[in-house]
């Protein structure tokens, strides 16, 4: 009888320990600005802003990627290009959207997701740095077309450093640029900044690649494009 009682007591304590561990895990998934700032100094982490692109452009945390939680097609499309095995530190304005985003990411295979408690509002209250605010004028369609040479093939990359699939395209573009067998001009446009130009050209969400030959558009495509496909179109 004593053995049975001891076994029941052991199982009860084990169950309580498991519950406490889960509670601690839940609590530790949200951290304040000071701890968040320290954590993202690690080069092995990913920082994700789940606000709209407009909010992002008014100021964001350094090195943050962006995917709008209110647009699930965009959010899922961008997040799929992030590394599920690396920690993700995410934030929104005050914490509501980041909570939904964190739940979605955990349910879809991301193993370590941490939220900024209070969002970027809390970050700013602690006088933490933001970047991305700019007064740089937007390129007009006329200025853009005037910059396209009429005597050379030009590849225009519309992307942004905060866009996950754009980041994946960078090594491909760099390799093409260093390929001496292909004669072309590479132009990079910040699609997050030059939104008027994006609208004028009726472009899909970034990244978008457009090829011009003799000053005329001959090809465009949205998304991650294999190097071989770009080479074939540039020739």
**Which domains, and CATH codes, for the chain?**
29-125 (3.40.250.10), 141-234 (3.40.30.10)
Question: 172 near 225, Cβ under 8 Å?
Answer: yes
For residues 29, 126, 65, 113, the Cα torsion angle rounded to the nearest 10 degrees is 0
Pick from 43, 110, 58, 50: which is nearest to 82 by CA? 110
Q: Please state, in angstroms and as integers, the Cα–Cα distance from residue 47 to each residue in 61, 88, 137, 194, 233, following that order.
A: 8, 6, 27, 23, 34
- 162 phi and psi angles, rounded to 5 deg: -95, 5
pLDDT of residue 17: 36
* Residues in CB range of 41: below 8 A, 6 or more apart: none
* pLDDT range class, residue 54, cuts 50, 70, 90: confident
pTM for the predicted model, two decimal places: 0.68
pLDDT of residue 26: 35
Give catalytic status of residue 166 as yes or no.
yes
Check pLDDT > 70 for residue 16.
no
The model's pLDDT over 187-197, given as tens digits with 9 standing for 90+, comes to 999 887 888 89
Share of the chain above pLDDT 70, in %: 88
Query: What are residue 209's DSSP bridge partners?
Result: 157, 221
State the catalytic residue, choosing from 47, 90, 105, 166: 166
The model's pLDDT over 133-189, given as tens digits with 9 standing for 90+, comes to 777 788 999 999 999 999 999 999 999 888 888 989 999 999 999 998 899 999 999
State the catalytic residue, choosing from 88, 156, 163, 173: 163
């Amino acid at each position: 009888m004593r053995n049975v009682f001891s076994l029941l007591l052991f199982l009860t304590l084990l169950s309580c320990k498991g519950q406490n561990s889960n509670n601690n895990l839940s609590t530790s998934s949200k951290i304040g600005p000071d701890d968040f700032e320290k954590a993202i100094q690690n080069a092995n982490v990913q920082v994700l802003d789940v606000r709209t692109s407009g909010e992002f452009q008014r100021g964001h945390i350094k090195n943050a990627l962006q995917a709008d939680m209110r647009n699930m097609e965009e959010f899922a499309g961008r997040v799929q290009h992030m590394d599920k095995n690396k920690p993700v530190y995410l934030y929104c304005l005050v914490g509501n959207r980041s909570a939904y985003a964190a739940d979605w990411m955990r349910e879809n295979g991301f193993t370590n997701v941490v939220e900024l408690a209070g969002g970027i509002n809390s970050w700013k209250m602690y006088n933490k740095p933001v970047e991305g605010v700019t007064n740089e004028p937007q390129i007009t369609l006329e200025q853009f077309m005037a910059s396209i040479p009429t005597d050379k093939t030009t590849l225009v990359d519309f992307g942004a450093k905060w866009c996950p699939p754009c980041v994946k395209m960078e090594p491909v573009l760099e390799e093409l640029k260093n390929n001496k067998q292909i004669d072309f001009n590479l132009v990079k446009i910040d699609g997050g900044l030059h939104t008027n130009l994006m609208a004028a050209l009726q472009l899909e969400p970034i990244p978008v690649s457009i090829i011009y030959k003799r000053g005329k558009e001959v090809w465009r495509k949205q998304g991650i494009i294999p190097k071989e496909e770009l080479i074939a179109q540039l020739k």
